Amino acid sequence: MTASACEVVLSEPEFRLYQSLFSDRLGIHLPDQKLTLVGTRLWKRLRARGINSYTDYYHLINQPDQQEELCRALELITTNETYFFREPLHFEFLKDTILPELKHKDTVRVWSAACSSGEELFSIAMVLADQRIGKWELLGSDINQSMLEKARRAIYLDQRTEHMPLEYRRRFCRRGTGPHHGSLRIEPDLRSRIKLQNIELHQPLPDIGSFDLVFLRNVMIYFDNATRQNVVQQIVNHIHNGGYLFVGHSESLRGVCSGLVQVQPAIYQVQK
């Protein structure tokens, strides 16, 4: 549905309400040019809830007991485009360069800091399991609880696995049958090794320890400059000296945080 097809148009004053709400509650920056997109996408939830006013929907999702509805709104206005082994050069660098450096460690710790529905998370897990590096721990976090539930179920449509190596598909996935035909599920042992946690990156981080590498890909586009600097600095504080930070190829950390040296496109090494 296009914006012109909406029975109710999101006004600028109403858009300001959503800008403040998503900034204050979620750290998400909605630039002015997103007004039409926000109105078009949220209209789906207004219709689903039988609400005829963006102001009324704003008051609904601003209620403390409407966290689930707030997450639905967040899903609609952010792009959760993800698939297995997205940006494959990152996974090659992980396998060929980083993990050989870490084989001497008792435990390798990795964090997928905006794991969405889990495709990135399980891509990392497959590489870790394949390389037989010994003990490893993998944390996946997201601001959106419904995305974490999808990661917990670990059921994915076949088209999201097109970039997954065939060997990994045979070893780590089970093909769906009957009503689940056309999908697959990550095998139980790999699922059991993943920890999932709801973490709001723009808030002080919980006690999650330190990591050898962190994936923070395709999430900083939703933050303003001040929030971006705060988020990256917090995460760098949780990376061991010499560890790595991965970002999206459309993102840059130039001038965002000190103590980072770019070693590959969208890959930085921490030098404290």
Q: Supply the DSSP symbol for 94.
A: I
pLDDT in tens, 180-226: 889 999 999 999 999 999 999 999 999 999 999 999 999 988 899 99
Instruction: Respond yes or no: is residue 41 known to be catalytic.
Output: yes
Domains of the chain: 3-77 (1.10.155.10), 88-270 (3.40.50.150)
Catalytic annotation, pick one of 72, 109, 142, 228: 142
Instruction: Respond yes or no: is residue 169 known to be catalytic.
Output: no
Average pLDDT over residues 107-127: 97
The single residue listed with the structure tokens 């997954």 is 164
Report residue 4's pLDDT band, with 50, 70 and 90 as the boundaries: very low
- CA-CA distances (angstroms) from residue 92 to 110, 215, 260? 16, 14, 21
Q: What's the pLDDT score for residue 7? A: 61
Catalytic annotation, pick one of 41, 86, 191, 217: 41
pLDDT for 67 beyond 90: no
Nearest to 36 by CA among 23, 61, 18: 18
